Amino acid sequence: MVVEFESVGKQFKKLKALQAVSFQIMEGEVLGFIGPNGGGKTTTARLMLGFYKPTEGIVRIFGRNPATEFHRIGPLVGAMLEQPGIHDGLTAYEYLQFYGGLFRMSSADCEARSQELLKLVGLSDRASGLLKAFSKGMRQRVSMARSLLNRPRLMILDEPFDALDFESRRIILDLLPRLSKEEGTSVFVTSHNLAEVEEISNRVAIIKQGRIVAIDKMESLRKQVGSSTLLVVSLARDYPKEKLEQLVPHAEYRRKDRTLVFQLDTVNGRQDDLLMHLLKSGISINSVDRQSASLEDVYFELTK
Amino acid sequence: MLAAFRESKLQVATSTLLATIMQFILLIRFMHLTGQGLGQAGGVTGMVPTFALMYVPVMFMPFLANSLLIRTFIQERASGALMSILATGINPGILWAMKTTAIFICCYIISLAVLEIDVLVMIFLFKLPIVFSITNVFLITVISPLAALAIIAVVSFLYWTVRFGYMFSGLFPLIVIVVLYGFAITQPSAIELIRGAMTVTLVSGVIVFVCGYIISKTSRARLLGL
């Protein structure tokens, strides 16, 4: 077991940031941690890094207490925090060399590893460029390279996809599952970006108001909300929400897409009757489709 | 430090110029203080002007260090760079010591350049005799910078441990300048110089050690302002 949270609570003056949070991360596992702003994602990451001590419960990283023994844990961990933590006045190469020194890597190893990582994140042609001139996406890539420098056994990534361009996002999305499978690196990743988390995670934890609402593999989470398959009815135009709620109380109306979403098991073979009911009530329908419940669907269902 | 110099060349240059002007004004004052008076020889150091040079590093270096600290520490904290560094598991006390030493070395190198300017101005502009002996050089280049190191360590310590410490830590170099401004120079004897040198060395070492120790025991959340 790489990470263990056992009934962890964290109180800040009047705010209870975490309450009875329990989970584990095994070797080579990617755990996605999703939740709304202020849900407790960053607090959890900081507890893992030993920046905070838990008010209740126990946190263990590689069997050690990160709050008191992080000097032993740090060399095994790669962290990519909410801010890239970039020194604007350094070049990408110098930045990695600086961290190589902090990890007490030999010059030769640090140089080889820096070149390798800059190539991996697609920045080898910008190695001599000042970080000041890098875009947000490029800074995140440098930050990713830095977090991999010491060949970590655990990666803690807090909002790594935030404000990234497509190319940068794809690089990270391709890299993380490969790391966990090929090198046995465990990954803890927090994000608002549900699609990306769904793509890379072995398991997903949903946190809301400091409590874990659900934690399981994607397929099991879909079953938890009733059905892994949805019936999606696309409407021809916008309708008042109250009217739709009255007509089909068990459906979810997504105004942005102008769709009515049903759990397939609630429809229960009465799909044709349902559609006739809508049409007779004056609702114009564009199309009807079946989809697998996405992480977003699961998230909204479990956190409402 | 490399990053700080690249990003804030103008600030470093301005701070260096201001510190040079300030310590030069004080140097002129020292040279007019009674004790031995201008141009009179005496004591281990030779002459008052030479002796006055000893105060240059202790006035100049903390002032410049404070300017560099403002830039590096606040920026690193705000950008998350400090958090990323502490996430490597490095002991905060060691990190503090490394950064403070880097700032000290940069300020020391610049102060040596400023000292050269002072000597040239005193010799050619004010026609003052400057006597270089092993003792003078040792005082000016070793003991005085060690005293400056103690002040830099305290200023740096305040930045790291006290919330909004940067708002008043800049007072320390100014206090040094004000105190020295009111300080009447008398030429010390050899014994007094040796005692003074040993005291400065010991006190500086203790201050640096104590500051580093306290920081190593301070929670990282506090150092980061979380």
Please write the tens of the pLDDT for every residue from A128-177.
888 888 888 888 889 999 999 999 999 999 988 877 778 888 888 888 88
Using alpha carbons, select from A10, A34, A39, A3 the residue that is nearest to residue A159.
A34
User: Which of A216, A247, A264 delimits the end of a domain?
Assistant: A216
A35 and A158 inside one domain: yes
Using alpha carbons, select from A185, A187, A94, A190 the residue that is nearest to residue A146.
A94
Residue B225 region by backbone torsions, left for phi larger than 0, else alpha for psi between -120 and 50, else beta: left
- What would the two tokens of residue A71 be? 């000097």
Query: A86-114 pLDDT, tens per residue?
Result: 888 889 999 999 999 999 999 999 999 99
What's the pLDDT at A221? 77
Q: Per-residue pLDDT for A46 more than 90? A: yes
Q: Is residue A62 part of a domain?
A: yes
- Whole-angstrom CA distances from A223 to A212, A231, A296, A297, B46 are 17, 15, 14, 12, 91
- Whole-angstrom CA distances from B136 to A256, A269, B204 are 80, 99, 20
Q: What is the ipTM of this complex?
A: 0.77
Q: Is residue A221 part of a domain?
A: no
Q: Per-residue pLDDT for A183 more than 90? A: no
A132 and A254 inside one domain: no
Q: Per-residue pLDDT for A247 more than 90? A: no
Which candidate from B7, B89, B220 shows the least CB-CB separation from A88?
A: B7
Identify any residues that bridge with A231 across adjacent strands, giving them in sequence order.
Answer: A262, A290
Question: Chain B residue closest to A103 (CA)?
Answer: B88
CB B40 within 8 A of CB B47: yes
- Alpha-carbon distance A87 to nearest alpha carbon in chain B (angstroms): 7
A249 and A171 inside one domain: no
CB contact under 8 A, B85 and A102: yes
Question: Chain B residue closest to A79 (CA)?
Answer: B87
What mean pLDDT comes out for the span A295-300? 72
CATH number of the domain encompassing residue A188: 3.40.50.300
- Residue B94 contacts A where some CB pair is shorter than 8 Å: no
What's the pLDDT at A190? 92
Q: Is residue A27 part of a domain?
A: yes
Q: Is residue A143 part of a domain?
A: yes
Query: B83-109 pLDDT, tens per residue?
Result: 999 999 999 999 999 989 998 998 999
CB contact under 8 A, B7 and A71: no
CB A248 within 8 A of CB A278: yes
A98 and A176 inside one domain: yes
The fraction of chain A above a pLDDT of 70, given in percent, is 94
A186 and A268 inside one domain: no
What's the pLDDT at B44? 41
Chain mean pLDDT for chain A: 87
A28 and A95 inside one domain: yes
Which of these ranges, A24-38, A200-214, A283-297, B212-226, has the smallest mean pLDDT? A283-297
As for how many domains chain A has, the answer is: 2
- Alpha-carbon distance A286 to nearest alpha carbon in chain B (angstroms): 49
Separation of alpha carbons B49 and B119, rounded Å: 9
A236 and A207 inside one domain: no
pLDDT band at A188 (very low <50, low <70, confident <90, very high): very high
A236 and A179 inside one domain: no
CB contact under 8 A, B2 and A86: no
Separation of alpha carbons B31 and B26, rounded Å: 9
What's the pLDDT at A8? 94
As for how many domains chain B has, the answer is: 1
Q: Per-residue pLDDT for A297 more than 60? A: yes
Supply the range of the domain harboring residue A80: 3-216
What's the pLDDT at B104? 92
Burial B46-70 (b: 16+ CB within 10 A, else e): bbbbbbbbbbbbbbbbbbbbbbbbb
Q: Is residue A13 part of a domain?
A: yes
pLDDT tens for chain B, 226 residues: list them. 666 666 666 766 777 777 777 766 766 666 665 444 444 444 444 456 666 777 778 888 888 888 877 777 777 888 888 899 999 999 999 999 998 999 899 899 988 888 888 888 777 877 777 777 787 788 888 888 999 999 899 888 888 887 766 666 667 777 777 776 666 555 667 787 788 888 989 999 999 999 999 999 988 888 888 7
Using alpha carbons, select from A157, A92, A100 the residue that is nearest to residue A128.
A92
- Residue B85 contacts A where some CB pair is shorter than 8 Å: yes
A37 and A115 inside one domain: yes
Which candidate from B2, B7, B89 shows the least CB-CB separation from A70?
A: B89
Supply the range of the domain harboring residue B141: 2-224
DSSP state of A285: E
CATH number of the domain encompassing residue A264: 3.30.70
What's the pLDDT at B117? 83
pLDDT band at A44 (very low <50, low <70, confident <90, very high): very high
